[in-house]
Structure 1
Amino acid sequence: MLRTFFYLALACSATAQTPALVIRAVTDRPQALYQTGETAQFDLTVTQAGKPLAQGQIQCFLSKDGVDPKREEILQIQDGKASLTGTLGEPGFLLLRASIAGQKDFAQASAGFSPQEIKPSLPVPDDFDAFWSAQKAALAQVEMKSTLTPVDSPVPKVDAFDAQITCLGAPVSGYYGRPKNAKAKSYPAILFVHGAGVGGSSLGAVAWSEREGGMLSLDINAHGLPNGKPKAFYDEQAAGALKDYRFQGRDDREKCYFKGMFLRVIRALDFLTAQPEWDGKTLIVYGSSQGGFQAFAAAGLDPRVTFFCAGVPAGCDHTGISAGRINGWPKLVTVTDGKAMEAELQTARYFDNVNFATRAKCQGAAVTVGFIDTVCPPSSVYAAYNALTMPKTLHTMPLTGHKSSPEASAFMTEAALAHVRAMRQK
């Protein structure tokens, strides 16, 4: 039977006398997907120096995507093998964590049970639209002014610029790419948004301006910081004003850090759509992790967006605890003894991809999800993905944590380019 597997070499003070142990966890279906109530089987193997470990113990924890209660079992290894089964009586993911006694490293595998049926943990707030309309109105009062400073382009057929664009609070700061000798009303536009962390924008992204007959491209950093500074500059920001930025204002929707971040995304779209070379119809937002968070928000807040790509997106189902599920990154809601901090819970609802998804009216979306992702757990991603109502595609990664596999990256790239091709035919 074809099987999926995840493996991790266990660091066992490897020497010539004590070769490292390798543990593998295997699900009995290649896509690791089951119907609610079905039984998933996890088979485990342990080898040392390429040979089955004769005997020993594996400590196993099964949980609902990391949420208590957790079922613990100690499995006896026989000729390098052990197995256990599990099920869920509700849509969600059963996560296995397995380790050898005395070792800090572990292997993981996960089985999804009817994940397409996962629903948002809480409804959209009654004044969700009014809140964001007020934020966009405030942004509109700030005149958009842009400063484009030429920089050396990484590709020969593209003019590249450091772009500084006025916004509420911190400016939009990015690198803008435009095909040389660009003609008016000729090019689709794509906005790249960043994952978590503190740094400048990526100049390499302007290479997209060479693709599919030419595009306008803009890569912005998440915080409106100047570009091209020494690493020490960004480290200082990360240790200072931007330390734990994800938690800033999380108990007050007017002060939540992500409000400013999302308004910078909207202003970046203002800039792209104001360029005389824009074709007037194609606008893509592309990002992973925190970038996926921003991509969902852009689609939900700005009707100009025609397509978005969100890899292993953060910002999904912040209030999962309300439905007995795990909260994903950025963990806006403090949970103590199973209870959520109420002010944080209510604030988080205005910055949740499950709610942005219900407002998104674009022509399509491409999303990726890792089944053993403990940063942006699959149950949270599915809650947001399922709430999308437009044509959409999902690339699943049963063996992957919080990263994009080469296949997932290719999936997102091709989805964006296919949208460009389709829009050019309209």
Structure 2
Amino acid sequence: MRLSAFIFLFAIGILNLNAETTTTAPAVTLKATTDRPDSIYKTGEPATFTISSSPAIDGPVTCILSKDGIQAQPPQTLNLQKGKATLTGTLDEPGFLQLRVTSPHAKSHTLAAAALDPHLIKPSMPVPDDFDTFWQNQKDALAKIPLKSTLTPVPATSSAPFKNIDAFDVQVDCLGAPVSGYFGKPKNAKSKSLPAILFVHGAGVRSANLGTVHWATNEGGMLTLDINAHGIPNGQPEEYYEQLSKNELLNYRAEGRADREKNYFTGMFLRVIRAIDFLTAQPEWDGKTLIVYGTSQGGYQAFAAAGLDSRVSFFCAGVPAGCDHSGSQADRVNGWPKMVPNDPATGKPDPLALQTSRYLDAVNFAQRAHGKGAAITVGFIDVTCPPTSVYAAYNALTIPKTLNTEPLAGHTNTPAALKFMQDAALQHVRDMKRISP
């Protein structure tokens, strides 16, 4: 028995020893920052990046500097010493100097970026001469469709316990697919008493969001409308939207790239205008306050709404897509949906897609916005809607505007960015209440 016990304990010791000897080192996390909190510099001014690791290690890291993700410079190898290393670079033109850092000891890369005179970034191409004519023709065709809507009451539930609000699933006739969303308003609202807000969606395939009807209780009451991006039914099982995303809407962002009439976003923007038609036709609308609010693809729609419809008094666009499609013509990066592909044989932009994209560019909508203001957010390390493209659109705005910058944010709205947009929208409502009808 004693021998058996000894053998058992010895075996356990061997197992423990093996466990100790095979334990892997903890994963290394990389971080990179600039030497200025706001990460903003003058063109040609050196920006110094500090690269650090946690836990602190000694060893090589690979660094690649680029012009916001394109025109990458040759990789540089630096050696971390006690978890630290520095690298300096610059650009000789307005833009973003992006740093990408990798390490064989880290599970993922890290990014940082320095902005060099970003407020001097200009549109990559001028507005087409017939831009306004094209869109007026589109709006004229839409106006021929009667403003017919179907409202189905939505009762409050445990997951949507709205009180003192009338909520509806609404379908509004439009060219092509209908406007499809959730509409909310305070109970017993008086005629011509309420501002209105339209929520538009980011990329993907999903139902409208019933939760936004809670905005109907803000600032003494608001008309709210949240529409899905595709004119599809709301409130369906998740499998329904998954099937659409795998089939009919699999690659909607590329549909009609070479034809401005058939481009998918042409139809999407017309649905936004028809949604505005619906909101402004409500007897409770105050006749002056109309906000369009969205993020990413929703930010793209917000720019389009502001540029195409004078009824928009304010818009909020978080990390907006659709900016500077023709960036390649100025040797710059462009934003999602990457509407202009390059020819595989020549590497040059597809000429038909390039021409089409100019009628659907947030940069060109920005120059036509005539509302009372805009609130935009941007992430300096956003690789989906790169900051170079966002600034091109932001700089093109001629109306009062504010910008929330996040040097270490990617394609997201941080809590601070969300608060920035929400505060801006509600402040606009308060400001408009002080203006006589």
Aligned equivalent of 2:76: 73
2 CA distance for matches of 1:22 and 1:69?
23
Percent identity for Structure 1 against Structure 2: 62
Distance 1:393 1:285 in 2: 15
Return the structure number with greater strand share: 1
- 1:131-142 alignment runs, 5 A limit: 131-142=134-145
Instruction: Decide which of 337, 342, 362 is 2:371's aligned counterpart.
Output: 362
Measured after TM superposition, the shift of residue 339 of structure 1 is 1.5
1:190-209 counterparts in 2 under 5 A? 190-209=197-216
- The one-letter amino acid of 1:171's match is P
Q: Aligned equivalents of 2:373 and 2:383: distance in 1?
A: 27
2:74 partner SS: strand
For residue 225 of structure 2, what is the amino acid of its counterpart? L
| C-alpha distance in structure 2 between counterparts of 1:39 and 1:279, whole Å | 52
Could you tell me whether the CA contact under 8 Å between 1:353 and 1:384 is conserved in 2? yes
C-alpha separation in 1, matches of 2:91 and 2:397? 25
Gaps of 5+ in 1: 1-14
Residue 66 of structure 1 aligns with an amino acid whose one-letter code is: G
Q: C-alpha separation between the residues in 1 aligned to 2:217 and 2:54? A: 48
> How many angstroms does 1:24 deviate by?
1.3
Q: How does 1:276-355 map to 2 (within 5 A)?
A: 276-336=283-343, 338-355=347-364
1:319-341 CA-partner distances (Å, limit 9, x unpaired): 10100001110000002464211
Instruction: Check if 1:96 corresponds to 2:99.
Output: yes
Q: Distance in 2 between matches of 1:408 and 1:160?
A: 28
Deviates more, 1:99-108 or 1:154-163: 99-108
Of 97, 106, 110, which aligns to 1:107?
110
2:124 aligns with 121
Structure 2: which amino acid aligns with 1:286?
A: Y
1:391 aligns with one of 387, 400, 413: 400
| Structure-2 separation of matches of 1:318 and 1:144 | 32
Q: Is the 8 A contact 1:63 1:71 kept in 2?
A: no
Q: Which residue is 1:10 aligned to? A: none
**319-328 vs 63-72, which moves further:** 63-72
Which residue does the alignment assign to 2:432? Answer: 423
What is the identity, as a one-letter code, of the residue corresponding to 1:136? K
TM-score, normalised relative to structure 2: 0.92
Q: For residues 192-243 of structure 1, give each alpha carbon's deviation from its aligned partner in whole angstroms, at most 9, with x where no partner exists.
A: 0000000110000000000000000000000000101011111111111111
2:18 is matched with which residue?
none
Give the one of 375, 381, 388 matched to 2:384: 375
Distance 1:293 1:59 in 2: 35
Query: Match for 1:145 among 144, 148, 151?
Result: 148
> What per-residue deviation string (whole Å, max 9, x for no partner) do you get for residues 24-54 of structure 1?
1111000000010100000111232xxx21x
- The structural deviation recorded for 1:384 is 0.1
- 2:341 and 2:112 map into 1 onto residues whose CA distance is 27
Give the match for residue 247 of structure 1. 254
| Partner in structure 2 of residue 9 of structure 1 | none
User: Partners of 2:83 and 2:89 in 1: how far apart?
Assistant: 21
* Secondary structure in structure 2 of the residue aligned to 1:303: coil
Q: Which residue of 1 aligns with 2:8?
A: none
- Name structure 2 gaps, 5 residues minimum: 1-21
Cα distance in 1, alignment partners of residues 220 and 428 from structure 2 = 13
Q: In structure 1, what is the equivalent of residue 14 of structure 2?
A: none
Query: Please, which moves more after superposition, 329-338 or 132-141?
Result: 329-338
Q: Is the 8 A contact 1:193 1:222 kept in 2?
A: yes
Q: Which structure's CA Rg is the greater one?
A: 2
- 1:93 counterpart letter in structure 2: F
Which amino acid in the other structure matches residue 266 of structure 1? Answer: I
**Contact 2:314/2:373 (8 A) holds in 1:** yes
> Aligned match of 1:159 in 153, 157, 166?
166
Q: Which amino acid aligns with 2:413?
A: S
Which 4+ runs in 1 deviate beyond 4 A? none
Cα deviation code 1:251-307 (max 9, x no counterpart): 111110000000000000000000000000100000000000000000000000000
> Does residue 225 in structure 1 map to residue 232 in structure 2?
yes
- Partner Cα separation in structure 2 for residue 23 and residue 241 of structure 1: 40
Q: Residue in 2 aligned with 1:84?
A: 87
Count residues with an aligned counterpart.
408
What one-letter code is carried by the residue in structure 2 that aligns with 1:18? Answer: A
CA distance in 2, matches of 1:259, 1:352: 11
Q: Report the Cα offset of residue 16 of structure 1.
A: 4.6
How far off its partner does 1:95 sit?
0.4
Counterpart of 2:192, as a letter, is K
Q: Distance in 2 between matches of 1:259 and 1:296?
A: 13
Selected match of 1:43 from 40, 50, 54: 50
CA displacement 1:150-183 (0-9 Å, x = unmatched): 0024310211000010000000000000001111
Matched, 1:234 2:234: no
Alignment partner of 1:58 out of 32, 57, 61: 61
Deviation (angstroms), 1:371: 0.1
- The CA RMSD over aligned residues, in Å, is 1.1
Contact 2:28 2:105 in 1 (8 A): no
Q: Give the Cα separation in 1 of the matches to 2:202 and 2:24.
A: 43
Residue 32 of structure 2 corresponds to residue 32 of structure 1:
no
- The secondary structure found in structure 1 opposite 2:73 is strand
Residue aligning to 2:414: 405
Report the Cα distance in structure 1 between the residues aligned to 2:347 and 2:390, rounded to whole angstroms: 21
Q: Tell me the secondary structure at the aligned position of residue 260 of structure 1.
A: helix
How many Å separate the matches in 1 of 2:421 and 2:342?
34
Contact 2:27 2:107 (C-alpha < 8 Å) held by counterparts: no
Alignment of 1:13-28 (within 5 A): 16-28=23-35
The residue identity in structure 2 corresponding to 1:375 is T
